[in-house]
Amino acid sequence: MATAVATDTNALVQQMVKKVTTIATLPEVTTRIIKTVEDPKSSAMQLHQIISHDPALVTRILKVVNSAFYGLPGQIGSIERAIVLLGLNAVKNIAVAASLGQLFRGVKLCEDFTAKDLWTHCVAVGVTARELARQLKLPIADEAFLAGMIHDIGIMVSLQTSPEQLKQVCERAKTSTTEFCTIEREVMGVDHQQLGMALAETWKFPRPCQLVAGYHHQPTQLADGNRTLVTLVHIADVLCAQEGQGFNLTAIHQPLDQALVQATGLDAASVERVKKSIPALMSAAAMFG
C-alpha cells in the first residue's frame, strides 16, 4: 500500500513539474552556464564566451560584482575580470539569481504574500546560508548561496500549476501550528520539497542543490555525508522566517534543532550573531531583488 502511495505521489510530482516547465523555463543562457560550470573540464574562457553573448546579463552581473555584496576594491569593468576575481561558481550564481528573479514576479501566493515576497525570502536564506558557511570557514559559501536561493523553488511549481490549492495551504498555515509541508500534502498530495527537488533535477542544478530543495525541512533524513549544506540552509531558513524576511510561512513554526546546529560546528552565539546580521546582509544583497 505504501509503495502504491509513493508511486502516485511521484507521478503527481512529475506531472506538475512537466506542466510548470512549459510555463516557466530557465533562459537557455543560464542552463548553458550551469552546465559549463558543473563540467570539470570547462574553462573560464568558455564561461566568458557564453555570458558575453547576453548584454543584459553582462550588465546585471557587473552590477552585482561592483556592489557591497562582494566588496571588491575598485570598479570591475569586464566579465573576464569578474571571473578571475570571484571564480566560476560565484559568477554562475549571480547569473542564476538574475534569471530566477525574473520568474518571481507580480503574482499573489495568498493574501499578504506575493511571489516577490517568496523571492525576498529565498535571497535572504541564500545570503544567510553563505554567512553561516563563512562563520564555519567552510569552502562552500558560494554553493550555500545558490542552494539557499533555490531552496523553495518547489513553491513556484505549486503557484504555476495549483494556485488555488496553494492559497488554501497558505491561509491554513497562517492560523495553524501544523508544519507547512504537512498542510501541503493534505491539500495537494505533495509538498514543495518534492516538487523543488524534481524541478532542480530537471533544470540540471548541482546535486547538492537538488538535495537542499528536497530536504531543507528534514536534513536528518539524509546520510551524514550529504547533510552539511542542507543543514546550513535549514538553519538559515528558520532564522529568516523568524526575522520575517519575505514569505516566511514555510518555516515560521519550525524549531531550530540544537543537535543539528551543533553537528555543523556552530554554537548558539554564532547563530545569534548571524541572525542579527540578516538585515545588513539583505541590504548588501539589495540588487538581487
CATH number at residue 196: 1.10.3210.10
Planar angle of CA 18, 21, 22, nearest 5 degrees: 95
* pLDDT of 2: 46
Share the mean pLDDT of the chain: 91
- Three cell numbers written together for 156: 513556484
d(CA 189, CA 12): 8
Q: How far apart are CA 267 and CA 123, in angstroms?
A: 24
What whole-number distance in Å separates Cα of residue 189 and Cα of residue 186?
6
Any domain includes 175: yes
- Give the predicted TM-score (pTM) of the model: 0.93
Name residue 220's amino acid.
Answer: T
Residue 92 makes CB contacts below 8 A (sequence gap 6+) with: 33, 34, 37, 47, 146
Per-residue pLDDT of 18-64, as tens digits, reads: 888 665 678 888 889 999 988 989 888 999 999 999 898 899 889 98
Would 77 be classed as within a structural domain?
no
93 falls within a domain: no
Q: In this structure, what are the phi and psi dihedrals at residue 114, rounded to the nearest 5 degrees?
A: -115, 175
Give the separation between CA 86 and CA 89, rounded to whole angstroms: 8
- Predicted pLDDT at 5: 53
Domain that holds residue 19: 2-23+105-288
DSSP output for 53-110: T-HHHHHHHHHHHTSTTT--SS----HHHHHHHH-HHHHHHHHHHHHHHHHS-S-EEE
In a domain, 35, yes or no: no
Does any domain span residue 265?
Answer: yes
**Does residue 147 carry a pLDDT above 90?**
yes
Number of structural domains (the chain) is 1
Strand partners, 110: 113
Determine the pLDDT at residue 1.
42
Cα 151 to Cα 21, 30, 41, 137, 270, distances in angstroms:
17, 18, 27, 22, 22
Question: Can you tell me the mean pLDDT for 117-130?
Answer: 97
Residue 230 lies in a domain: yes
Domain presence at residue 263: yes
Neighbour count for residue 40 (Cβ, 10 Å): 5
Q: Is residue 66 part of a domain?
A: no
